[in-house]
Structure 1
Amino acid sequence: MSEVSPASPSGAGHARRHFLLDRGFQLKYALTMAGAGLVVAVAFGLWLHQAHAQATALLPQDADTRALIARSDRLLLAAFAGIALLLSGALGLLGIVITHRVAGPVFVMGHYLSIMAQGRFPRMRTLRRGDELKAFFRTFLEAVDAMKAREARHAAVLEAAVERMRAAEAHAPELAPAIEALAAAARERRAALAIDDPEPTPIAVPAPRQGAAGR
């Protein structure tokens, strides 16, 4: 696997300020879970209210009893509303936490792809301990390593071709433009391999241990 650089403290702080990495995706599923929890709580509350009404219907209907029943109804309604809101909020937060473990790896890979689209190779890091998609991310890193190895082979082939063409340039001066074009292509590939992305990954992704980096 590629050699990795340790994550910078500034990168970790930046990640803590951006817990919603993919706002649309994460909020969609968080609100879905919150809504599902609210529906379950309402259904349970209606059943509980019906059972409470049936139980209180058996009591004597004098003024004191009716006042007691009315007070208990208000307390039951307040308790039910509080529980429903707490359940909905807890499920919503849980949805954000769960989706963050998926959005984080996707966000990192998207950042890496944007760097590669600019002709550079990113500084690779492992995922956080609680992140998902670890197998897919490992395959992604292996694919990047394979691309770097292929770029190195292509650069070596170009350099060898340039060297041989320069040896024959004295007898074929018309090769000069082609030689310069191939030499420029070789330099571009070597530059892409020699300089990793200077921008740290914008998410807290710790570097792997020394033993894990070679796997």
Structure 2
Amino acid sequence: MKPAPFLLTALFSAAVSAAPATHMDTKAATEAVSVYYRNPNPDRALKIMQTIIADPLWKKDSARHNLSVWAAQILRQHPQATDKWCRAMKQYPAVTQDETAYFFFLANTSESRKCLRNLNISNHSKTYIAQNTPPDISSLSNISPADLDALWTTFYATGNPKAVEKVLDRVLDYAKAQKAQEKSNHKNIDMTGVAAAWSARSNIMQNQDIRKIFDTYLNRLNATDKALLQKILVQE
């Protein structure tokens, strides 16, 4: 049920730049995802999801996974909207209902669990739901590449600066490890750290709200850590 993770920033930038003119609605929808938090409205979010579900983009596992995480965050914030979302998803064929079940599973509210009982989903998905617990984004510690996706998605859906700060924490850990390895002949390549730095750098460049969170985060650091983080995110 859960597809492989894909870096959210790359997904949305690729979707916007590569989509042909005939997919203007989808382009507008994908652009709206990353700035939804500025004007949150679960009805508008539902329309965004319906637009994307109708597009071939939805059939890409990585895109569907990340958009499901985004939708789940919105349903967590607005559980009263779940019934309307659920009724909308029930209008789709069984295969699409099965796909959309993932964001109700991730939302993990009493309303979303009720919806899961009403959707037409496969036995495979039922087993997955029964055997797994939705991750708690707020308590992430050892961050994986999939967790990076979830953290950025959480910010895009909610505007919660703590999600960005968790990414920056991971980048700072990576920067410290790189500094410690400078005089070593055995260097370990931290791919999650590389991905965290790339995604943070990209988002800081493209989103002024994230840039402000970054600047505030920097100002809380001691001089040594501040210089390390600036080197990896600003000077490279």
With normalisation by structure 2, the TM-score equals 0.28
Does 1 or 2 have the higher relative contact order (CA < 8 Å, sep 6+)? Answer: 1
Structure having the larger proportion of residues in helix: 2
